[in-house]
Structure 1
Amino acid sequence: MRFWHFNEQSLHTAWAEIDGPTKVTVPNTYCDPTVAHEFYNRYLDEWMIADDLGFDIMVNEHHASANCMSISCTLTLAILARQTKKARLLALGIPIANRPDPYRVAEEIAMIDVISGGRLEVGLVKASPFELVLSNQSPARLMDRYWEGHDLIVKALTHVGAPFSWEGEFFQYRNVNLWPRPLQQPLPPMWMTCSSEKNARIAARLGYVCATFFNGPKTKALFDSYKDEYLKTHGKPAAADRLGYLALSVCGHNEAQVQERYAKVKTYLDAQPRTPKGWINPPGYESVELNAGALKSGKKGRINFGLPENPTVQEMAEGGIFFAGTPDEIFHQYKNFYDKVGGYGQVLMLGQAGYLTHEETVDSMTLFAKEVAPRLREATAKGAPATVAA
């Protein structure tokens, strides 16, 4: 079992000043570059501490947002490739359907892998719906563009020999010639984010790690679909490290501290829905199946956890959205969810969010690394590879 420290590099001090959406249309007058400088360096320091504590590192990418100033996975990871020593470095993910130049993405992936000594792991994602307006892309053809970009990147990373040309529908290159090649051969470990059973089966066929975010009670069916398809495709059960789950996570020394930290981190969930309504779910972005499910649930927007209006800490933990507690409490929260969904080996921890301070973040990480992670590894190490019951 591996534990990944993640944060979205928010400029959360601006949230209270912003009247309206915190993404896409928010004027950049709300971004003080001197404050952004402090936060960027703070977040990099926390990832370096995570490396020292034995965590692996995950970063993401969004644009024109006070919720996430990480405008490039590869830019952040290029810094961390040099500044860290042991941690695996995960980009989850690079929104290639929005990117104009997938060849450049392949070059950046290879360079980071070489600098880091072969510690990079890569998730190629389509893009958030609210960012399509920023890249001038059509949601209707987004997945076609995604898969062509994906195939080009994979070929560029794995190709050895003379340059090749690429003549596709969306991308054309006369001379693809990757220098340097990635250190990990044939390519770094690949991930996919999956919110549906259909996508989980695609990830299984490709042999990619399947990661799902805040999926709660839907996670077991999604993981089971992955395991079923993996067994059919590869002729062997999927190991637990093929599955990953992301949730908010914070640890405290006592109940009062847990409640205080929980309240600070929970502001992240309050800020996420502050998206221009026309870009929450543009036509063609989501599949018919997912849109139908959202309509049946009666919930608006894309954030739908299926929880009560004002959930308690325990309800958040049972729903797999937010694990918060003392070391003993959070161990049981993670273990209960692990058992409920049939096991997974990649624990993706959104360990800094909202108004959690640097000192609180580091203390929470340290508590988890010393008192929770070893127990979870021991409690799950004896389990057989995750398989679907007949």
Structure 2
Amino acid sequence: MFRAWTFTEMPYPHLPPENTYESLRVDFPSSIYDPEVGYQLYKTYFDLYKAADELGLDIMLNEHHATATCVAPAVPLTLAALARDTRNARLLALGNPIANRNTPVRVAEEMAMIDVMSHGRLDVGFVRGVPYEISPGNVQPVEMKERFWEGADLILKAWQTHDGPFNWEGRYYHHRQVNVWPRVYQDPHPPVWVATQSTGTSRETAERGFNLGTILAGADGALELFKAYRDRAAEDGLAVTPRERLGYVALVFVGDTDEAGFEGARKLRWYLEHNKIAPQFMNVPGYIDARVRARILQNEASGKPLVSPIEHLVTAPLEQMLDEGYVFAGNPDTVYAQLERFYRRVGGFGNFIMMVQSGTMGYDLVEHSMELFAREVLPRFRENVYDVDTPVAAAAA
């Protein structure tokens, strides 16, 4: 089944003028945060997720640290709250930055508890973690990917071992008496996701049979990432990759009219426009592939500033973002047509993860957009596009 997931990064949007601070991440002072305002914001965010559950939409959550762009620093806590506050929606953590955690076993325990609490509605995502959270997490950037994959392997073994403790003596993690209680509800374990914008990681994700999620890659980028996944799966003998293993994150707003939809999309751009990061927190030695880092240093030497990976989207015209699949917006018919076109351009996928709220967008505005998508776009798309037996290869062509 084609799944539509709702998502907000839970921002604290009440910021001082941008020229008064160098970075919104890592060293942005929490004195700016008003806890009473924060309480009201959390109420809005959790109410929106409850509405998503009632509308038949699924829910995606993430976490970030030392930033006003995302005041959800612990995805297990938000998952636990929603496991009790929802009844039908699947809950996706995208995800747990396991390379920043010293104890993957704790992640296994947290996710197992939520899987049981939610009655088996949990999808577990693993992420490597962004470079600007290395210093707040006080972690070693060198060999992060290797730690990431070892942590994932340890978590899966912990979930699937039910006959008593085992020892783990890996290269990066050392655990005695691993014995996760409670055991996971789903058998053999919850669906596992990896979020990436790298074709290399896409291939590694396919090797393990995990689901792939990518954010704001555009149609061309998503096609490349999905192709890398499919190619690697084919090497392992999988003739056609199940569409349910592929997911894409975009900004989505549905209005009663095209203009209302476009105006909502402009509000969603807060996420792109308020992501100021100081260069020293992005270009972290040891985190970036040596060849990529060499290009960065060459650009710096020639006077080109280091910018955020989504910097090119900040000033892009809305029409371009709609055409290239970064944003889906308009009335229900328009959004349906955009989704169908994107789906065919990338060769099909099974999970549409929608950032539906950003900045100061309130409950009524966002809930109406979600309802229009759930009632007028999603059922039509499932019936007319997704459930039609179109081979992925043909769709990709």
Q: Smaller-chain TM-score range?
A: over 0.9
Share of identical aligned residues, percent?
39
2:43 to 36, 41, 58: 41
Q: Distance in 2 between matches of 1:248 and 1:19?
A: 26
Q: Are 1:365 and 2:367 an aligned pair?
A: no
Secondary structure at the counterpart of residue 70 of structure 2: coil
Q: Is the 8 A contact 1:227 1:386 kept in 2?
A: no
The residue number in structure 2 matching 1:239 is: 242
Q: Are 1:67 and 2:73 an aligned pair?
A: no
Q: Distance in 2 between matches of 1:154 and 1:188?
A: 10
Q: Following superposition of structure 1 onto structure 2, how do residues 27-106 of structure 1 map, counting pairs within 5 Å?
A: 27-106=29-108
The residue number in structure 2 matching 1:12 is: 13
2:25 to 5, 23, 26: 23
How far the C-alpha of 1:292 sits from its partner, in A, is 6.6
Write out per-residue CA displacement over residues 138-180 of structure 1, whole angstroms, 9 at most, x where no aligned residue: 2122112212211211111111101112223332222111111
The residue number in structure 2 matching 1:261 is: 264
Q: Are 1:327 and 2:327 an aligned pair?
A: no
The residue number in structure 2 matching 1:229 is: 232
Distance verdict in 2 for CA 1:5–1:142, change over 3 Å: same
Q: Distance in 2 between matches of 1:318 and 1:259?
A: 13
> Which amino acid counterpart does residue 382 of structure 1 have in structure 2?
V
Secondary structure at the counterpart of residue 80 of structure 1: helix
The residue number in structure 2 matching 1:338 is: 343
> Which amino acid counterpart does residue 6 of structure 1 have in structure 2?
F
Distance verdict in 2 for CA 1:180–1:164, change over 3 Å: same
Write out per-residue CA displacement over residues 49-81 of structure 1, whole angstroms, 9 at most, x where no aligned residue: 000001010000101110001111111001111
The residue number in structure 2 matching 1:211 is: 213
Unaligned 5+ runs, structure 1: none
Q: Is the 8 A contact 2:277 2:308 kept in 1?
A: no
Q: Is the 8 A contact 2:258 2:329 kept in 1?
A: no
Q: Distance in 1 between matches of 2:293 and 2:248?
A: 22
How far the C-alpha of 1:295 sits from its partner, in A, is 8.1
Q: Is the 8 A contact 1:200 1:210 kept in 2?
A: yes
Write out per-residue CA displacement over residues 294-327 of structure 1, whole angstroms, 9 at most, x where no aligned residue: 78997842424766x7333221112221111111
Distance verdict in 2 for CA 1:289–1:321, change over 3 Å: farther
Q: Following superposition of structure 1 onto structure 2, how do residues 303-322 of structure 1 map, counting pairs within 5 Å?
A: 303-304=309-310, 310-322=315-327
Distance verdict in 2 for CA 1:93–1:154, change over 3 Å: same
> Which amino acid counterpart does residue 366 of structure 1 have in structure 2?
E
Distance verdict in 2 for CA 1:134–1:196, change over 3 Å: same
Q: Distance in 2 between matches of 1:377 and 1:290?
A: 40
Secondary structure at the counterpart of residue 97 of structure 1: helix
How far the C-alpha of 1:381 sits from its partner, in A, is 1.4
Q: Distance in 1 between matches of 2:296 and 2:336?
A: 32
The residue number in structure 2 matching 1:386 is: 392
2:109 to 107, 112, 125: 107
RMSD (Å) for aligned C-alpha atoms = 2.2
Q: Is the 8 A contact 2:272 2:310 kept in 1?
A: no
Write out per-residue CA displacement over residues 62-115 of structure 1, whole angstroms, 9 at most, x where no aligned residue: 011100011111110011111111111100010011112211110001000001
Between 227-236 and 214-223, report the one with greater CA deviation: 227-236
Write out per-residue CA displacement over residues 211-269 of structure 1, whole angstroms, 9 at most, x where no aligned residue: 11111122212211211111221433111111111011111112342233222211211
Unaligned 5+ runs, structure 2: none
> Which amino acid counterpart does residue 247 of structure 2 have in structure 1?
G
Q: Is the 8 A contact 1:107 1:179 kept in 2?
A: yes
Secondary structure at the counterpart of residue 105 of structure 2: helix
Between 117-126 and 166-175, report the one with greater CA deviation: 166-175
Distance verdict in 2 for CA 1:306–1:68, change over 3 Å: closer
